[in-house]
Amino acid sequence: MTFTQTTTQPQVAPAAKTKVFFPNLDGLRFISFLVVFLHHCYLSFFSYLQTSSPTAFKIQSFLFQYGTLGVNFFFVLSGFLITYLLIREKEVTGTIHVGNFYIRRILRIWPLYFLCLFIGFVLFAMLKKMGGEVPHESANPWYYIFLVGNFDYMNTWPVKPDAILLSVLWSVCVEEQFYLAWPVILKFIPVKSYKYVFAGIMLLSLVFRSFYTHNTEADHAVRYFHTLSLIGDMALGGMVAWLLSFPGKFRDFITNLSKPAIALIYIGTLCVTLGKGYIFPYGAPIIFERLVIGIFFALIIAEQNFAKNSLFKMSQSKLMSKLGVYTYGLYCLHLLGMYATVRIVVKLGWHEDNLWVAGASAVIGLLLSIAISLASYHLYEKWFLKWKDKFAFITK
């Protein structure tokens, strides 16, 4: 199946295995990962600049302190893509095959996820002992084994896992909880009623967040890690997928967006993300923070894949689209690349409070992260991925 720049709606092939492909999503995935990566650079490599290069520190702080919003984008994107594919499956087969869906997600997520758990809980502790250090892991392995690590992270916050690799896996747990519930919900509800379900879930999320609006570590942990606080992102993505799945006013609106309107979407996204702390202070405004930012993210996803007049399609960037295929590995493993970079910098005797050392560390960390992710994908993950299509009714 082909997907051209002149026809931006995904084409569905009338075959036993229906094909749906959004070529612009891989590039968006990579950008989202890059934002998260730069946020972690802000917390590590760039943090040493606060005294030695205060102006540079302030600039990168302004740009990257809210880089965790890349995770928000992943949640909205997951809600959009999974919902769109399940709607197509229900159209083609008359139902949603929940068991097959679970197998596909297990083949994609579990091999790398549980490898990361082994590295974090076993190998990291062994390496510390071999180096004469005493492991002091705060993370509870049972929470992560049973895919509810976000609740463990919420309970220990602001203490982070000793094994740095574990500190990003909470969001994978949230995704897995979403995957567990979503196909069951959509299977037994008529497609025409999906909008009420999605709206109800978004409202539930807002109500839940309204109880945690204070400027405390405890409230922050609930807002950021609790599934009920985050599920509105997936529901929002699902709502947009439902609206775009069928001809109608919304799809026509997105398809015919003018270039100035599209530019406003991206300008608005930059404003609400970079100015998040001012626009959504503690109290009532912070209840709506994820929803408003998520709407801008959803509009970007929609215009990238359906608009005729886009300023730029992510698929035009071959490098970012190619790297986007490895985003899951990049996200799970990039802290290993950064950890290795710190060791290299120390070994070379570079001064970490030097501006060029901070910049070089970020570049080295990114390159190492890409190399580790490529190795993981081609030497390990790919063996499991080759079985996915055997359980799929909608393929790429």
Q: What is the pTM of this model?
A: 0.93
Higher pLDDT residue, 162 or 10? 162
Residue 111 lies in a domain: yes
Could you report the per-residue pLDDT of 209-258, keeping only the tens digit for each?
999 999 999 999 999 999 999 999 999 999 999 999 999 999 999 999 99
**pLDDT cut 90: percent of the chain above it:** 88
Could you report the per-residue pLDDT of 123-172, keeping only the tens digit for each?
998 988 887 888 889 999 999 999 999 999 999 999 999 999 999 999 99
pLDDT of residue 208: 98
Compute the average pLDDT of residues 185-209: 97
Is residue 17 very low, low, confident or very high in pLDDT (cuts 50, 70, 90)?
A: low
DSSP-derived 3-state class of residue 100: helix
Q: Which runs of E-coded beta strand occur in 163-278?
A: none
pLDDT of residue 6: 37
Q: Indicate if the alpha-carbon torsion angle 386, 149, 31, 291 is positive or negative.
A: positive
DSSP run (H or E) holding 280: none
pLDDT of residue 16: 52
pLDDT of residue 287: 98
Q: CA-to-CA distance for 38 and 361, rounded, in angstroms?
A: 11
Average pLDDT value over all residues in the chain: 93
Domain span at residue 125 reads: 18-395
Nearest partner of 392 among 96, 177, 191, judged by Cα: 96
pLDDT of residue 220: 97
Could you report the per-residue pLDDT of 257-269, keeping only the tens digit for each?
999 999 999 999 9
Q: CA-to-CA distance for 158 and 155, rounded, in angstroms?
A: 9
Could you report the per-residue pLDDT of 276-296, keeping only the tens digit for each?
999 999 999 999 999 999 999
| Amino acid (one-letter) located at 167 | S
Residue 9 lies in a domain: no
Compute the average pLDDT of residues 317-342: 96
Q: Bridge-partner residues for 19, per DSSP?
A: 395
Residue 6 lies in a domain: no
pLDDT > 90? residue 13: no
Compute the average pLDDT of residues 53-58: 93
The tally of domains found in the chain comes to 1
DSSP-derived 3-state class of residue 7: coil
pLDDT > 80? residue 11: no
pLDDT of residue 133: 82
pLDDT of residue 286: 98
CB 41 within 8 A of CB 362: yes
Residue 3 lies in a domain: no
Is residue 8 very low, low, confident or very high in pLDDT (cuts 50, 70, 90)?
A: very low
Q: CA-to-CA distance for 242 and 96, rounded, in angstroms?
A: 15
pLDDT of residue 344: 95
Residue 237 lies in a domain: yes
Q: Bridge-partner residues for 395, per DSSP?
A: 19
Residue 28 lies in a domain: yes
Residue 312 lies in a domain: yes
Residue 1 lies in a domain: no
